[in-house]
Amino acid sequence: MANQQPNAPGGAPTNQMWGGRFTEAVTDEVAAFNASITFEQRLARYDIQGSRAQAQALEAAGVLSAAERLAIDDGLDAILAEIEAGQFPFSIRLEDIHMNVEARLTERIGDPGRKLHTGRSRNDQVATDVRLYLKAEIGRILALARATQRALVTCGRAHQDVIICGYTHLQKAQPVLFAHHMLAYVEMLERDAGRLADCRARLDASPLGSGALSGANIPIPRDVSGPAMGFAGLTQNSLDAVADRDFSLEFMAAAGICMMHLSRLAEELILWSTHEFGLIELPDRFCTGSSMMPQKKNPDMPELIRGKTGRVYGDLIALLTTMKGLPLAYNKDMQEDKEPLFDAVDTLAGCLSITAAMMAGAKVNRARAAAALSGGYLLATDLADYLASHGMPFREAHEVVGRIVRHCIDRGIEITDLTVADFQGFSATFQADIADYATIPASVARKSQPGGTAPARVAERLAFWEKTLP
């Protein structure tokens, strides 16, 4: 086999990268169990980027000649092309992406390839690869988060004048603008984006040159390789650099929180799509039918987003659990870091993308929105505030309005059905202006403090986001 050499007594093949001290090769079962190449091929381009930077630093250190460095660069170009064409012969016997690339390079260019690992370990290599990967993916996810915010703003703008019933405890509470509700998620996603950007800024340091755990014996300039890969800085402790995966954990924590936000929006879309709420109509292209019940239109996309949230939490907990008992520095357990990370990246990116597309096409049923404003005594707080602003202690006002609500419930009428005289029957504090005060639009318009749901405030915030979001 190309990737093995018969260097052990009796000719048993061992690994060509570390086989020197071994007398027998691992079994096929162990090779398969040990390998990470089956799930980390997406790191290839970053591994190659890291090797280019390593070659540059080795040239600066005088370990490689300029010609050798060029040969390495060309060889890596060819390997990247092979990988992109799907023609790279990945081998489980070569365990991981690092040894697959290095072995292929040596196969192609000979000796310079054999020099590339000078002063380098797979421990600093894998830390480098994953940081590069995550840095790029966070950039992509931030763009998707922006697109999702954009879609929510667009949806809010398209229904700018729609007032909906706001809830607490899923009980009717107070009227709010639909756009205000959309903008609540825009704010959440803004903080999610901030967390992801923080994570990216913190991971933006090159671990290359940390070696297996203590650094390198040869002065290979880290300040050449780090900037060559576009890292903003260098890690400052070799043990830390090879042993921690807090950057992946931080990403998954931020991803988990973002998924929680998407899941709450998804839950509302599901609820609002029901016959009972009927507040929103999702485009058919985001729903599916039932194989048995011809009438069904199921909100599968939001349901899947809600469902996938659990996966991302699981990804975080899996790696936290893997890491918690590990003595410094690298331990093979840490190879288990990649599958959860990749899953969290893919899941979050997919959910953001679907949410953005779905919200851009969501339509509010205005008649149902208006109908939902009655029946819940949404103006009760307004009445109490009216009395309080006319000098009545709020606790007393609360009591008075409680009696008004009881009166309405008993007669099956709305607060807006009451006359000024009716109001005054409950308290002499009520004046004639209560008629104009106790309306849904007036209630919404009064919430004009910063962050309130008044149309003027919401219009400002919509305009702010339209200006701010790319």
Crossing angle of helices 44-60 and 66-84, rounded to 10°: 180
Which of 93, 122, 146, 447 forms a contact with ligand ARG (CB under 6 A)? 122
Residue window 18-37: x/- pattern of binding to ligand ARG, with contact defined by CB under 6 A: ------------------x-
CB of 54 to ligand ARG, least distance (A): 15
Closer CB to ligand ARG, residue 56 or residue 123?
123
Residue window 35-74: x/- pattern of binding to ligand ARG, with contact defined by CB under 6 A: -x--------------------------------------
290 given a catalytic annotation? yes
Length of the chain: 470
d(CA 266, CA 270): 6
Calculate the CA dihedral of residues 341, 344, 349, 351 and round it to 10 degrees. 170
The answer to whether 266 touches 279, Cβ cutoff 8 Å, is no
Closer CB to ligand ARG, residue 122 or residue 306?
122
Which of 126, 344, 352, 418 forms a contact with ligand ARG (CB under 6 A)? 126
Residue window 330-359: x/- pattern of binding to ligand ARG, with contact defined by CB under 6 A: x-x-xx------------------------
CB of 306 to ligand ARG, least distance (A): 32
Closer CB to ligand ARG, residue 37 or residue 269?
37
Q: Which of 65, 214, 290, 448 is catalytic?
A: 290
CB of 61 to ligand ARG, least distance (A): 23
User: Should residue 96 be labelled a site residue for ligand ARG when binding is judged by CB under 6 A?
Assistant: yes
Angle at 58 between CA 75 and CA 208, to 5 degrees: 95
Going by C-alpha positions, the residue among 262, 245, 248 that lies closest to residue 192 is 262
Structure tokens at 174: 């107070």
CB of 117 to ligand ARG, least distance (A): 12
The beta strands (E) that lie in 141-279 are given as 163-168, 171-177, 205-206, 233-234
Contacts of 80 (CB under 8 A, 6+ apart): 44, 45, 48
Which of 15, 49, 123, 309 forms a contact with ligand ARG (CB under 6 A)? 123
CB of 42 to ligand ARG, least distance (A): 13
Structure tokens at 229: 């890969």
Closer CB to ligand ARG, residue 117 or residue 181?
117
169 given a catalytic annotation? yes
d(CA 379, CA 173): 9
Structure tokens at 374: 């009655």
Residue with the two structure tokens 């591994």: 47
User: Should residue 225 be labelled a site residue for ligand ARG when binding is judged by CB under 6 A?
Assistant: no
Q: Which helix (H) or strand (E) holds 320?
A: helix 300-323
Alpha helices in 204-274 (DSSP H): 222-228, 238-243, 246-272
Interacting positions 366-425 with ligand ARG (CB under 6 A): none
Q: Which of 169, 263, 374, 398 is catalytic?
A: 169
User: Should residue 453 be labelled a site residue for ligand ARG when binding is judged by CB under 6 A?
Assistant: no
Sign of CA dihedral 184, 187, 191, 196: positive
What residues act catalytically? 169, 290
Binding site for ligand ARG (CB under 6 A): 36, 96, 122-123, 126, 330, 332, 334-335
